[in-house]
Copies of this chain bind each other. A is one copy, B any other.
Amino acid sequence: MSKEITSRQQDYSQWYNDLILKGGLADYSAVRGCMVIKPYGFALWENMRDVLDKMFKDTGHVNAYFPLFVPKSLFEAEEKNAEGFAKECAIVTHYRLKADPNTKGKLMVDPEAKLEEELVVRPTSEAIIWNTYKGWIQSYRDLPILVNQWANVVRWEMRTRLFLRTAEFLWQEGHTAHATKEEAIIETEKMLDVYADFVENWMALPVIKGIKTANERFAGADETYCIEALMQDGKALQAGTSHFLGQNFAKAFDVKFSDKSNKLDYVWATSWGVSTRLIGGLVMAHSDDDGLILPPKIAPFQVVIVPIFKGDDEKKLIDEKVHTLIQQLKQLNIRVKYDDSDNARPGWKFAEYEMKGVPIRVAIGARDLANNVAEIARRDTKEKTSVNLNELAVYIQNLLNTIQESMFNKAKAFRDEHITEVNTWDEFVQTLDTKTGFVSAHWDGTPETEEKIKEQTKATIRCIPLNNKQENGNCILTGNASTQRVLFARAY
């Protein structure tokens, strides 16, 4: 089985695709740039979604649902936002098909069913939501509005990759409305913290919190906060963004509120989102040449049990012990699968669950039973141990925590090794080309310089880290004065 996976060294990009397809996370579809999320991949997404959803609710948010379509006239209301997304939109122009008179059994778009106004399939929902909020907000008593939506969105990307960049993807988008600028900024930062907490403590992926430069800012935002993670090939991945939208959308959609002294003002806004793209980052950051390695806290199955037996009698004895174990594990809220199917040999199953990244594999054979033990294998380190059956459930519980922590530490060590301070252009280029990772360098603060660096090296400014150290220096490209280092990287 593992032989079917391209190694990272051979072709990192193909390795990634192999894992997604052969690990059973997703499949290509008949629609350009759209993928099918397979049951195993969707179970992973459900676990991520459920944790995030609880975090949102624990911070006072509620869910709602807004239309998939945005009328063109609303879409264009906030000009920067419209400009940012106009080039990659799916547009609905008609509402009916009819029989094609020239080809039996075929359908054609009915030219008589042309919409008066075209509809944009939402690439993001600020426009339709702020148009709605206009009707919900009159006074400070109606604020804050703390709404989140789980939805599909469509961005007609030219080059797509499973999970990382697909034409349609699943995400959540929070859209909040506030009476003051301060409150909106606090919300923006709070949700960035929620994302960092989730990605680090559930996905075992260390992130750097920061602010985007004007060039990389969300179209329509005053400030974009982000969390940036590092992949094994040394490229960065934007894992989540939280936008302070100022009063831009309130002005575009004329959403005003009267404060306690009856003064009218525009409402302050934030929006924030993470998507199925996170799954791509998870795969790229943790997996190896034998398959996926999933963090226990969000793995669809945390433990798989494989029996090794000859004949029904041995099987029956093993079943008995396993059923007790399963009960014990379930009481500890551990997600366990017993694969006693008879259409594959244990070796095949071992490779299959290695491929699927199940954190712990338990193998029990007749000889193990005689000794009242089972063989435990960790997916992340491949270490094997023999453990007494009486202690197994608690052992597994502890081991799951160990694996979660160990995966985070490994990823963090790799990430920390791959933040390099450089002071010259040559060092900068060489680090990007050979060592890869984040490069911490001085930049003169102008969009022009940022653009030139991108053109010459394909590296972008991933973020200006929060609480960034202020120090005098010289821009690596122009030599102009700079007050702080920023983090560059090539990125997904």
- A151: which B residues are within 8 A, CB to CB? 152
Interface residues of A in 81-124 (CB under 8 A from B): 82, 86-99, 105-107, 109, 118-121
Contacts A31-B71, A76-B106, A91-B95: A64 and B37 contacting too (C-beta < 8 A)? Answer: yes
Q: Report if A62 contacts B (CB, 8 A).
A: yes
Protomer copies: 2
Interface residue A187 (Cβ < 8 Å from any Cβ of B): no
Instruction: For residue A375, give the distance in angstroms from its CB to the closest CB of chain B.
Output: 27
Say whether A39 contacts B63, CB under 8 Å: yes
A29 in the interface, Cβ–Cβ < 8 Å?
yes
User: What CA separation (Å) do A58 and B41 show in the bound complex?
Assistant: 19
A38 to B65, CA, bound (A): 7
**Contact of A88 with B96 in the complex, beta carbons under 8 Å:** yes
In the complex, A381→B74 CA distance in Å? 45
A349 within 8 A of B: no
A154 to chain B, nearest CB (A): 7
Cβ contact within 8 Å between A62 and B86: no
Find out whether the CB atom of A64 lies under 8 angstroms from the CB atom of B38.
Answer: yes
The answer to whether A311 has its CB under 8 Å from any CB of chain B is no
Query: Does A301 lie at the interface of the complex (its beta carbon under 8 Å from any beta carbon of B)?
Result: no
CB distance from A458 to the nearest CB of B (A): 25
* Complex-state Cα separation, A97 to B132, whole angstroms: 23
Considering the complex, give the chain B residue whose CB is closest to the CB of A66: B36
CB neighbours (8 Å) of A98 from chain B are 86-87
Which residue of chain B lies nearest to A344 when distances are taken between CB atoms in the complex? Answer: B141
With an 8 Å Cβ cutoff, the count of chain A residues facing the other chain is 67
Complex contact A92–B121 (CB within 8 A): yes
The yes or no answer to A69 lying at the interface (CB within 8 A) is: yes
Chain B residue with minimal CB distance to A105?
B79
Which residue of the partner chain B has the closest CB to A37? B65
Give the docked Cα–Cα distance between A93 and B343 (Å).
46
Please tell me if A429 contacts chain B, counting CB pairs below 8 Å. Answer: no
Q: Is the CB of B97 within 8 A of A91?
A: yes
* Interface assignment of A128: CB less than 8 Å from any CB of chain B: yes
Q: Is A347 an interface residue (CB 8 A)?
A: no
Complex interface: chain B residues within 8 A of A109 (CB): 91, 93, 118
Contact A132 B29 (CB under 8 A): yes
A369 at the interface (CB under 8 A from B): no
Is A268's beta carbon under 8 Å from chain B? no
Cβ contact within 8 Å between A128 and B29? yes
Q: For chain A residues 28-58, which have a beta carbon within 8 Å of chain B?
A: 29-31, 34-39, 41-43, 45-46
CB pair B39–A69 under 8 Å, yes or no, is no
A27 within 8 A of B: yes
CA distance A457 to B65 in the complex (A): 37
Q: Find chain B residues with CB under 8 A from A72 CB.
A: 97, 107
Q: Report, nearest first, the 6 A-B pairs whose CB atoms are least far apart.
A: A34-B67, A39-B62, A37-B65, A86-B97, A95-B156, A91-B94
Q: List 28 A-B contacts (CB under 8 A).
A: A29-B66, A30-B71, A30-B128, A31-B71, A31-B119, A31-B128, A36-B64, A36-B65, A36-B132, A37-B64, A37-B66, A38-B64, A41-B64, A42-B62, A42-B65, A43-B62, A67-B168, A76-B106, A86-B97, A86-B107, A87-B96, A87-B97, A91-B93, A91-B94, A91-B96, A91-B97, A92-B93, A93-B94
